[in-house]
Amino acid sequence: MPAEPVAPPATTDDGHGGRTVRRLVTVLALAAVLPALYLPNLKHDFFDLKIYMSAMDWWRAGNPLYDYVQPDRVQGELYFTYPPFSALLLWPFALFSVTATAWIFSILTVVAVVVTTRWLLDGVIARHHLPRMFTLTVAVLLVLAVESTRETITFGQINMLLVVLILADLLFAVPKARRWAGVGIGLATALKLFPGIFIVYLLACRRWRAAAVASATAAVATLLAAAVAPRDSWRFWTHELWATERVGRTDYTGNQSLFGLLSRITAPERPDRLLWLVLVAAIAAYGLWRAARAARAGDPLVGLTLTGLVGALISPITWTHHIYWFIPAVVVLADAALDSDPATPSGARRRRRLTVSAVAVSAIIVYGVVSFYDWGVALAPTDSPGEFLLRNVYVLLSLVLLATLPIRTRTEKLHQMDSLPG
């Protein structure tokens, strides 16, 4: 009996073409959401950038830099508070119109987002064989959706410049023991004091040379500013640096530091400084210990992420646009989830837990704490559990991540580090 003809396998268009369509729809859907997320932030109207530019005009006219003051409905009187080296960087932009400078700052921030997101994801994409262009595009759109990025752009902040300098050092120069390791952190510290926590991290990791280079770079940049503006430099380092009231109200919800949380509990009174210092010491010791452990395990991404979260927690003032460090935390959680073996019960549970954590952190930092709420101007204490959670969600999330962010071993990270550019 002749064999019955076998029908050819059914063909479907849901192959390469179908995947391309789905990816395109995903990218377009994410891009379409961005305008709705940015709309509430447009009210900032480059407020911080305008302060910078007005302060530069004031300075160029021969006035003391740190005498410049601008009123604000929520914060009261706001001053120029950055170190003198930042003023040297900002001074040339005063030659342009505010509109032109806003465009320059926005474009540079977007470029920095693209570059740093690629740095964070290149190793993950290589290790897990993810579609490169699609993954990077989706990730960049998600980073642009995060509240800290939105506020950086719409306030006209320089945060992403600092992130580029720090990541370049800690992802490439320090792990590869480059001669210039530490220069980026040093420059970032001279521009804005917050990155100084990464010098402490280098010391905790016993990266003596990199810590010395970072310290020397910060010192040279500071001395350069002192040579150009000696009186303003003396005034900043002897007085203005210690006057935290110049930066704004510590109890304002946008201040997502530990001191901000305590201030919101005790408002209108100021919190107990001794209690705050004890908590700062405990958090810094624990967080930097875990960060140094991660570095020794060959996981510099976790190390720098934990250090950034420590810095955000212990600083007296940490505005929402300062907390970039949730973004690499999401990358770590997603990477660890993909590393988990779904074929075993424990691996499957771990993958589910880490995936849920990554999605939850992403949802929180996209929604944010100030974009969709007007917390008013009254000096009133937090008086309900729900309000406490909403007004301090970044502080609480930082504390949770400080304790739970997974540290990968050197063998798990070896291929990832080898696949990084540079």
C-beta neighbour count of 70 within 10 angstroms? 15
Q: If we measure between CA atoms, which residue out of 51, 116, 122 comes closest to residue 90?
A: 51
Burial of 33 (0-12, 13-18, 19+ CB in 10 A): middle
CA distances from 345 to 334, 349, 381 (A): 19, 6, 46
What is the Cα 64 distance to its own chain's centre? 31
Query: What 8-state DSSP symbol labels residue 255?
Result: B
**289: CB partners within 8 A, 6+ apart:** 204
H-type helices in 156-207, by residue range?
159-167, 183-191, 197-204
Distance, in Å, from the CA atom of 276 to the CA atom of 295, rounded to the nearest integer, reads: 28
Q: What pLDDT, on the 0 to 100 scale, is given for residue 241?
A: 82
Q: What pLDDT, on the 0 to 100 scale, is given for residue 324?
A: 98
Reading the block at residue 393, the tokens are 């969600």
Write the pLDDT tens digit of every residue in 50-73. 999 999 999 999 999 999 988 776
Read off the pTM. 0.91
> Number of C-alpha atoms within 13 angstroms, CB side, residue 291?
30
Cis peptide before 40 (omega within 30 of 0): no
C-beta neighbour count of 177 within 10 angstroms? 10
Q: What pLDDT, on the 0 to 100 scale, is given for residue 326?
A: 98
Distance, in Å, from the CA atom of 69 to the CA atom of 270, rounded to the nearest integer, reads: 23
Q: If we measure between CA atoms, which residue out of 332, 325, 333 comes closest to residue 358?
A: 333
Q: What pLDDT, on the 0 to 100 scale, is given for residue 414?
A: 46
Q: What pLDDT, on the 0 to 100 scale, is given for residue 39?
A: 92
Q: If we measure between CA atoms, which residue out of 143, 111, 159, 145 comes closest to residue 319?
A: 159
- Crossing angle for the helix pair 197-204 and 208-228, to the nearest 10 degrees: 160
End-to-end CA distance of the chain: 67
Per-residue model confidence as pLDDT tens for the chain (422 residues): 455 555 555 444 456 777 888 899 889 999 999 999 999 888 899 999 999 999 999 999 999 999 998 877 666 678 888 999 999 999 999 889 999 999 999 999 999 999 999 999 999 999 999 999 999 999 999 999 999 999 999 999 999 999 999 999 999 999 998 999 999 999 999 999 999 999 999 999 999 999 999 999 999 999 999 999 999 999 999 988 877 666 678 899 999 999 999 999 998 889 999 999 999 999 999 999 999 999 999 999 999 999 999 999 999 999 999 999 999 999 999 999 999 988 898 899 999 999 999 999 999 999 999 999 877 766 778 878 889 999 999 999 999 999 999 998 755 554 444 445 54
Q: Which residue has 């740190």 as its token pair?
A: 66
Q: What pLDDT, on the 0 to 100 scale, is given for residue 409?
A: 75
Q: If we measure between CA atoms, which residue out of 363, 365, 358 comes closest to residue 337?
A: 358
Write the pLDDT tens digit of every residue in 209-226. 999 999 999 999 999 999
Q: If we measure between CA atoms, which residue out of 199, 233, 193, 228 comes closest to residue 214?
A: 199
Q: What pLDDT, on the 0 to 100 scale, is given for residue 419?
A: 47
Distance, in Å, from the CA atom of 158 to the CA atom of 105, rounded to the nearest integer, reads: 8
